[in-house]
Structure 1
Amino acid sequence: MPVLVITGTGTEVGKTVVTAAVAAAALAGGRTVAVLKAAQTGVGPDEAGDAREVARLAGNVTVAEVARFPEPLAPGTAARRAGRAPVRPWEVAEAAAKLATEHDLVLVEGAGGLLVRFDAEGGTLADAAALLGAPVLLVTSAGLGTLNTTELTARELRFRGLELPGLVIGSWPGTPDLAARCNLADLPDVSGAPLLGAVPAGAGSLTPVGFRSAAPRWLAPPLDGTWDAAAFGDRHGP
């Protein structure tokens, strides 16, 4: 099944921009792409959510949401406070599987980190990935503090028997500090998974044309790009 689940080590690590980059690179390779937001929080009914932002940046992708809630909270909390039914992992899996019958690639973007709760029973994005049998791409931050959250997420994925094909740094700084430069080697070490890309800070502010042109250069060949981890480490490592 051509589904890739995209999660992060937490909020504000660049999941949506990475999702857009993966979509843009796949489109450039001639594939059809759908983007499914498992649970959109913090936006009103007429506001553009993360899936729509992916489409703005990446181009001609199908966008869908399982549910959206107005307050910027964890999906389970946001649903409860809105007095609405929560998102269930099986609903996410069912929606992704349907999109997979009509597209070459389906990107399922989570909310926050891997174990953010969808419902009162503790359902998570990890449960949806397990139902789909889909690999989970992990978006990490570059600097100090990322090693702990990256290793914890990688361990949880492996504990659940979920495939972790690699990591993407969601916002690589223009002037990386020592911690970020050291993390180019340390992130693969603590996670047991390769670096598959580094998206530059501010990439989401590029024009759509500029974003689509540049996106393949930020991602490694397994993600339809040309980025080379070894060469990047030689340029930016300590």
Structure 2
Amino acid sequence: MSSQEVGRVVVVTGTDTGVGKTIATAALAVAARERGTVSVVKPVQTGIGPEYPDEVADIDEIYRLTGCATQEYTRLEDPLAPDTAARRRGVTIPPVKEYADRIRVLAELHDTVIVEGAGGLLVRLDTDGGTVLDLAAELAESLPVEVYVVTRAGLGTLNHTELTVATLRDRGLEPAGLVIGSWPADPELAERCNLDDLPRVTGVPVTWVLPEGAGRLERDDFTAGVPAWPTL
């Protein structure tokens, strides 16, 4: 990347917690390496600390799967929304604008910066009320931003996904694609129908379908599988 260029930012959000954002972020990072240098950022990580010794930070899992450069800005111990976790411990955490400023610096140094949110789109990343949506909108004021929405395959996904897409559009952010975070080996009727219904009801294409268990793969198998997953 020349000194006159700025990298794109890919924001990965979800319809809820536990929908597969981390694995989707890893897959997008592997794909982005075709375009040049990649850095992955987790602005806020919760649920990691001495009381939860078996939990693995998202950024560590992404590094294990991809080998990409990673950064985590804020870590909070309790497995709660970031603002709640911070208030509970009496911890001061940075505002969304500070996260955006740090990501802009990375975008000057990398062709792609991928940002994994926390939970859903309106989860508060700071104690001032700044959300994942606010972070995406702040970045879009000065950088090319693509937002991917990670969603579930089964019942309930249509409503949750439509709400998330509508909220993004209300802020002038058109989603780049939907990602099904975990596609079962033997999909049932609702899942098979949702694969067609998700783009129909949202007007957003399903660009990635990640197979169930992808996050348990070793790095070589994961990176080898990524090229096939958009077409599952």
Question: TM-score w.r.t. structure 2 length?
Answer: 0.90
Alpha-carbon distance in 2 for matches of 1:65, 1:207? 22
Gaps of 5+ in 1: 220-226, 233-238
Within the candidate set 17, 22, 28, 1:22 is matched to 28
Please list the CA deviations of residues 56-105 of structure 1 after superposition, one character each: whole Å capped at 9, or x if unmatched.
1012x211112010000000001111211134211221121111111111
Within the candidate set 78, 88, 101, 1:71 is matched to 78
Other-structure match for 2:4: none
Other-structure match for 1:236: none
SS of corresponding position for 1:117: coil
Within the candidate set 196, 214, 218, 1:207 is matched to 218
Aligned residue runs from structure 1 range 30-109, under 5 A: 31-44=36-49, 48-59=56-67, 61-109=68-116
SS of corresponding position for 2:180: strand
Other-structure match for 2:204: 193
Asked if the contact 1:39/1:87 (under 8 Å) is kept, the reply is no
Letter in 1 for 2:83: G
Other-structure match for 1:177: 188
Runs of 4+ residues over 3 Å off in structure 1: 45-48
Other-structure match for 1:162: 173
Q: Identity over the aligned pairs, expressed in percent?
A: 53
Other-structure match for 1:224: none
Deviation at 1:213, TM superposition (A): 0.6
Please list the CA deviations of residues 141-192 of structure 1 after superposition, one character each: whole Å capped at 9, or x if unmatched.
0000101100000000000111211101000001101000000111012221
Within the candidate set 127, 140, 148, 1:137 is matched to 148
Alpha-carbon distance in 2 for matches of 1:85, 1:192? 40
Other-structure match for 1:222: none
Alpha-carbon distance in 2 for matches of 1:206, 1:97? 32
How many residues are aligned here? 219
Note closer, same or farther for the CA distance 1:130–1:30 as it changes in structure 2 (3 Å cut): closer
Alpha-carbon distance in 2 for matches of 1:112, 1:81? 18
Asked if the contact 2:185/2:211 (under 8 Å) is kept, the reply is yes
Task: Confirm whether residue 9 of structure 1 aligns to residue 9 of structure 2.
Answer: no
Asked if the contact 2:95/2:128 (under 8 Å) is kept, the reply is no
